[in-house]
A = this chain, B = another copy of it.
Amino acid sequence: MRRATWVGSTIVVAGPASPSLAAKLAEALEARLVEVESKLFPDGESYVRLKGGVEGEDVVIVQSCYQPQDKHLLELLLLIDTAKDVGAGRVVAAVPYLAYSRQDKRFLEGEAVSGRLILKLMSAAGADGLVTVDVHSEGLLRQAAMPAVSVSAAPLLASYLASRGLKGAFVLSPDRKREAEARLVAEVLGGEHSYLEKTRDRVTGEVRTEVRRLPVGGRDVVVVDDIISTGGTIAKAASIVKAQGARRVVAACTHPILAGGALERMYSAGVEEVVGTDAVESEVSKVTVAPALAQGVRRLLKLSRASL
């Protein structure tokens, strides 16, 4: 592999939430890996320590913020602050799953805009840039005080799905807002794509999905979403296409958060397989986002020191 000119002065720090992804990212970037000692004190406080020097180097801290989100987030902020404090050059937060990104604006009076605060805290801790994967809200990243990019895991998911015999499958996004991912996956699989309209009641939290006629009779269907949390949205979409005669239904997502009972909920609705990435380490993380993350980090670090 050809060494890019910026390589050699980059360190990848393996946050406690993403040790194996960090190792893959270091390999992709040909960067040195610094491990982290982490523990929990008996009273419940977190402790982190960088196990190697980072002075004067560009540092990429890999720490996904899935459950427990607040603990993972605090560990991330501690690592950013520590790296800066011991003399790191630029610090990039590589946060495949950005916690709280669904709360990107105030829907009800007095509500916290949590997603925006998370970005503010990362900047305050000392982050000079952020790379995330398939952020739920691109608008949120534009509110960041630092350069922030979201890379797509869709091509990586699509390659995996193709290898699982899903070429030509019909690709469905269960929410119009995520249509772009469905289109990207459909381009690789060579089939068509469409979306369903989903509406959420901001007070009750209740979600309604429209039932629409789709050309899925006798065909394989891939339902693609960014996050699978309770699995309810995917289950609803699966029921709709199953009722219209779909053959095999596979669910694919970047972030398999999988709140309690999510897998069972989807399987009961006729989903045959669930495919996720290691943006969130789970039992369905079959695809690594390391190549996409590496691309995002390269893009950020190529920006001049001044603009970072």
Write the residues of chain A forming the contact surface with B, with a CB cutoff of 8 angstroms: 41-53, 67-71, 73-74, 77-79, 81-82, 85-86, 99-100, 102-103, 106, 108-114, 116-117, 120-121, 123-125, 229-230, 257, 259-260
Q: Which residues of B contact A260 (CB under 8 A)?
A: 42
Q: Known: A77-B117, A117-B125, A120-B125. Is A230-B110 also a contact (CB below 8 A)?
A: no
**Ordered nearest first, which 9 A-B pairs have the shortest CB separation?**
A124-B124, A50-B110, A78-B112, A70-B70, A44-B67, A42-B259, A43-B229, A82-B112, A49-B111
A118 to B67, CA, bound (A): 21
Query: How many whole Å from A235's CB to the nearest CB in chain B?
Result: 14
Query: In the complex where A77-B117, A81-B117, A125-B120 touch, is A47 in contact with B112 (Cβ < 8 A)?
Result: yes
Contact pick for A68, options B44, B81, B116, CB 8 Å: B44
CA distance A223 to B103 in the complex (A): 47
Copies per complex of this chain: 2
Give the CA-CA distance A86 to B111 in the complex, in Å: 9
The answer to whether B82 touches A111 (Cβ under 8 A) is: yes
Give the complex CA separation of A218 and B179 in angstroms. 79
List 21 contacting pairs A-B, 8 Å CB cutoff, sorted by A: A42-B229, A42-B230, A44-B259, A46-B70, A46-B114, A47-B111, A47-B112, A48-B111, A49-B110, A70-B74, A73-B74, A77-B121, A81-B113, A81-B116, A82-B111, A82-B113, A117-B125, A120-B125, A121-B121, A121-B124, A124-B124
- A43 proximity list for chain B (CB < 8 A): 67, 69, 229-230, 257, 259
Alpha-carbon separation in the docked complex, A74 to B71 (Å) = 10
A259: chain B residues within 8 A (beta carbon): 42-44
Cα(A301)–Cα(B46), bound, Å? 33
CB distance from A200 to the nearest CB of B (A): 12
Q: List residues of chain B with CB within 8 A of the CB of A257.
A: 43
